[in-house]
Amino acid sequence: MGDRHRRRDAPQVQGSLQFAPVLWRTLLDLVGEGQDGDPALYLTAWRDDVLHLRPPPTLTTRQVNAIVDTVLRRQAHVPALGIEIGGRQTLTSFGPAGIAMMTSPTLGEALQVGLKYQRLIGTPLLLDARYTAGEVQLHLHGGLHLHPHVEGFLAEELLSSLLAIIRSETGQDLRAARVEIARADLPLTARLHHQRTFRNVEFGSGAYLLAFPEQALRLPLLRHDPVTHQDALQWCDRLANTHGHGTHAPTDVRVRDQLRVLSPDARRLSDVARALNLHPRTVRHHLELLGTSFREVRADMIREQADEWLRHSDLSVEEIAQRLGFSDARSFRRALKLWTGLTPLDVRRTR
């Protein structure tokens, strides 16, 4: 990778995230009045720029870390703040994409709308759905230099809101078959809150996911309206094309998004090009114009996932290697050494 040393030597380089205005407003309300020297003093300066934007604004990872750090510090008496906030979310909070979802005929079709337009909704973490053994697994992906507890807060908020919205829109008391929480270092009070909310929870898995029976996708939605649904979908398409989401996003961003949702054995250039409805040569050419390559984008995404799991999970090196698509742990160690100059043990010693 041509820039791997620059990335390693300059970890302050930040990514950007789409941030839902409704969540942003909630967090700003929780910040309250700042004192001299408090990072919260400059957070409120963004308020007017953010409240009325559609699609959601792009915030730097540094900004997201700052506001969530401040909120978690001031709300330390709440054991699982992300779950509390997420449980109050409704689809009406998510603009035209939320309207398109709530007026879908079934839960499965609403899910597809949400996945397609999640950048319009403003989910700081990328969401993808996987279907296996009669189960739907909704996976959340970060990997953008978020502080571990910040990523945990955002993941818990999204998982909680997903479950609350599913129950509200179907009218069914649907229970998650399984919820996985990446972090293993949660205090007992927070663990108990997770258990009460999600029931079957696995901590320290290295991943955030919500799983439920695949048959639930056929559940009808209470507010299905075919006319409003089509109008909302057209509205979403116009917004996506006008504001640079969807087909107008930079090619490296679109490639990275697809790589995150593809299984390890389907991360070839041809697979990504097919998902983007482009010819592989076109994808390669666009990446070259951006000064990168498919191999570099893929390796960078895998490196970020590896770093995340090594630092913030109790997964063994063998399990991480398997999840990332390596043939064995030895191949993973060799690749990590090439990318970062560190072994898995070196990375874990720094957490």
Q: Residue 60: in which H helix or E strand, if any?
A: strand 58-60
Give the pLDDT confidence of 263-299 residue by residue, as tens digits.
777 788 998 888 777 889 999 998 888 888 999 888 8
In a domain, 197, yes or no: yes
- Domain identity same for 56 and 189: yes
- Asked if 139 and 275 sit in the same domain, the reply is no
Do residues 26 and 146 both lie within one domain? yes
Report CA 23 to chain centroid distance, whole Å. Answer: 14
Give me the chain's average pLDDT, please. 78
Please report whether residue 65 resides in a domain.
yes
More confident call, 71 vs 44: 71
Res 128: pLDDT:
80
- The answer to whether residue 36 is domain-embedded is yes
Rounded average pLDDT over 44-49 = 50
Give the confidence band of 351 by pLDDT, cuts at 50, 70, 90. low
Amino acid (1-letter code) at residue 341: G
Residues 212 and 291 in one domain: no
What tokens were used for 177? 């078959």
- The two tokens of residue 292 are 């990168």
Distance between CA 100 and CA 109 in Å, rounded?
A: 10
Cis peptide preceding 220, ω within 30 of 0: no
CATH classification of the domain holding 316: 1.10.10.60
Domain contains 137? yes
- Residue 259 and residue 320 in one domain: yes
**Domain interval for residue 268:** 250-351
Q: Look at residue 1 and tell me if it is in a domain.
A: no
| Best-predicted range by mean pLDDT (16-25, 135-144, 231-240) | 231-240
Does residue 239 sit within a domain?
Answer: no
Measure the CA angle with vertex 138, ends 256 and 132; round to 5°: 100
pLDDT tens for 23-37 read: 767 777 776 655 544
Average the pLDDT over 183-207 and give the result: 85
**Total domain count, the chain:** 2
Are 122 and 36 part of one and the same domain?
A: yes
Residue 50's pLDDT is 47
Is the Cα dihedral 349, 304, 267, 259 positive or negative?
positive
CATH of the domain at 79: 3.90.1520
Distance in angstroms (rounded) separating the CA atoms of residues 205 and 302: 17
Strands 135-141 and 178-181: unpaired
Domain stops at, among 194, 218, 242: 218
User: Cβ neighbours of residue 195 under 8 Å, at least 6 residues apart?
Assistant: 201
C-alpha distances out from residue 150 to 50, 57, 82, 124, 147, Å: 20, 19, 10, 11, 5
Phi–psi pair at 337, nearest 5 degrees: -65, -40
135 and 258 fall within a common domain: no
Q: Are both 145 and 212 inside the same structural domain?
A: yes
Q: Which residue has the tokens 């970020």?
A: 304
- How many CA atoms lie within 13 Å of 257's alpha carbon, on the beta-carbon side? 22
Quick check: is 340 in a domain?
A: yes
> Residue 54's pLDDT is what?
46
Say whether pLDDT at 99 is over 80: yes
CA distances from 193 to 134, 167, 197 (A): 28, 19, 6
Residues in Cβ contact with 234 at an 8 Å cutoff, skipping those fewer than 6 apart: none
The answer on 56 and 193 residing in a single domain is yes
Could you tell me if 198 and 323 lie in one domain? no
